[in-house]
Every structure is written in C-alpha cells, then in structure tokens.
Amino acid sequence: PGYKAVNAPGMDAQAIYAGVESGDVKTLFVLGADPVGDGLMADRGRLDFLVVQELFLTETAKAADVVLPAQSWAERDGTFTSGERRVQRYYPGIQPLGECRPDWQILAQIGERVGMGKPPLAASLVFRDVSRAVPQYKGMDYRTLARVEKQWPDVGGEDLYYGGNSYENRSGLGQQWAVGAETAVIDQFDVPEHQSGQTDSLLLVRTAAQYTPGTLINHSPVLADRMAQPTLFLNEADAETFAIANGANVTVTAGEKTYQAKANVNGAAPAGVALLRGVPFVAGTAVVESITQNKG
C-alpha cells in the first residue's frame, strides 16, 4: 500500500476489468468507485458475485448482488492527510443516515466474520495501528493531532483581520510528515518512457479539470453545471492530418475505448499529442488509433 514492498502483488485495475470481462475474475468487491459508470466495465461482465461499498446507488451498485452503505466524511470522524503532508483530525458534522457505517468498520466486521479476529472499536484505534505500521505516521495519535495553540501573532488586539482569521480553531492543528529530504534515504523515481512502437502515432493523454463527471459531482446541481465537457485538444498539424475542424464533434478510439468529444484546435497540445479533458477515466496514456469527425 505504498509504504513497504509487496512480495506477491495481485492484479492491477486494468487486469481486474479484463478478468471481469473474460470470466477469469468470478467475485469482485468494489469500494468507493464506479467502474460501470466510468465506462471501465460493461455492466457486471461475467461475474458470479459483485459487492459494492458506496454512498450512492451508482451504476455499479445497481448491478451488485450486495450493496454496503458507507458513511460520507461528514458523518464520521477520522484523519485527513493533505497534499502538503499535514495530518489533521476531522469530526462528524451531521448524524449518519440510515444504516450507513464508516468504511473501516464495514471491512473490520467482514474480517471478523471470516475469522480475522476482533476488530478495533474506534477510529482512534485504527489510526493507532496505522501510526505503528507506517513510518510517516510514527508518533502521531489523536491526542497530539487535537492539540491547539496560537497560529498567528496577535498584532491587532481585538482586530482579528491581520492576525489570521476570525474563527477559533478548536479541532487541532494536526501534525506534518517529514519531507523526503529530511530522511536518511531519498528514493529516486524514474518516469517510464511510453513505447508506442510507432513513430508517427498520436499519444492520447487525459488532462485534469476542476470538475469532471463523477459520483459526488453528479449529485450537486451547482457543481454539475460547472463540469468540464469532453474536449479533445489537437495541434494544428495533427488536426490537418486527421481532417478535423475546430469545434467539430469527433469520435476518438484508443485501445479498446471510444470517446465522444468536441475538437479544440489550438496551440495547447504539442505535435503528436492529443489532450482529452472532461472524461471520467483514461488509464495512463494510450495510442490513438483513429479520430473521425462526426457528421451533422
């Protein structure tokens, strides 16, 4: 899981989806994902048994034999690790709905039923186990995460504008991972080169957008109106090669996947690269097999 080597790694996501389609994978447990809705699985494939653990009745959940209702972050307590390596406590904001439970509790109770022992009884005990097993969390616990002290100097007396913010922090400042440069060993990461096997091929790369289609966004009318629409950015030379006009609706085929998008021919994409935005998922990079301009 990212902090120590795995001796016998299992299937990656693409191998799992291929196994579902071929029938090699008979049972699948999906947690917090919607592969059917994202176009990664055609319904339930040839599965004998499908379990989905989710907040909403997604397209994958609709095809499941069993749906386990999970709590949202607003209904449970726990910790959050941000991109700046800060680990913070968070607390329930609303009462849990129906029979939903925290993800860890669902998994722990399943583990107990299959003979894996008595599960932890609180989120704090789960975090205790994490801090013992994962070096980055060593020495952290709920008590230290909840510690509060003044973050900003009181430069304005009663005037809080220059002193930070006007809301008192009662939830704790959290703690921070050490940066990689502070550790004894710095891991090197080499970006693998993409081998297409073709010198004249067009590489398809999915680009990030502020809001893309997904389970949480689709349920918010405010955010849904701000979702990025499927757009294919092409270099002028590549658009000329494929006979694609700016603003045209196109069909893009890469591997076994087909995408519908609107072409945007400008200088955003370098020659030989097609940038695809506003689609749920594209695994890594892929070689474009065809781009056709739709009629009408």
Q: What is the DSSP string of 175-217?
A: EEPPPGGGSSSPPP-PPPPP--S-TT-EEEEEE--SS-S-HHH
Q: What sign for the dihedral angle of Cα 149, 153, 156, 160?
A: negative
What pLDDT does 152 receive? 60
Least Cα distance to 198 among 100, 296, 287, 91 occurs for 287
Q: What is the mean pLDDT of the chain?
A: 83
DSSP 115-129: TS-PPPSSHHHHHHH
Q: Taking residues 40-69, what's their average pLDDT?
A: 94
Within 13 A of 214's CA, how many CA atoms are on the CB side?
Answer: 18
What pLDDT does 282 receive? 64
- Round to whole Å and give the CA distance between 167 and 165: 6
Residue 257 and residue 282 in contact, taking contact as beta carbons nearer than 8 Å: yes
Residues 99-132 as b/e (b if ≥16 CB within 10 A, e otherwise) read ebbbebbbbbeeeeeeeeeebeeebbebbbebbe
202-293: CATH, from 3.40.50.720, 3.90.1300.10, 2.60.40.10, 2.40.40.20: 2.40.40.20
What pLDDT does 163 receive? 47
Maximum CA extent, the chain: 69
Residue 161 has pLDDT above 60, yes or no: no
What pLDDT does 162 receive? 44
- Round to whole Å and give the CA distance between 63 and 210: 29
What pLDDT does 177 receive? 77
What pLDDT does 157 receive? 56
Q: Taking residues 104-130, what's their average pLDDT?
A: 90
Q: Taking residues 207-233, what's their average pLDDT?
A: 80
What pLDDT does 286 receive? 74
Domain borders along the chain are: 13-69, 202-293
Q: How confident is the model at residue 192 (pLDDT cuts 50, 70, 90)?
A: low
Strands 273-277 and 202-207: parallel
Strands 231-234 and 257-265: parallel
Q: How confident is the model at residue 20 (pLDDT cuts 50, 70, 90)?
A: very high
The residue type found at 4 is K
Q: Taking residues 232-243, what's their average pLDDT?
A: 91
Higher per-residue confidence, 103 vs 42: 103
**Structure pTM?**
0.70
- Round to whole Å and give the CA distance between 202 and 40: 22
Q: Taking residues 164-181, what's their average pLDDT?
A: 69
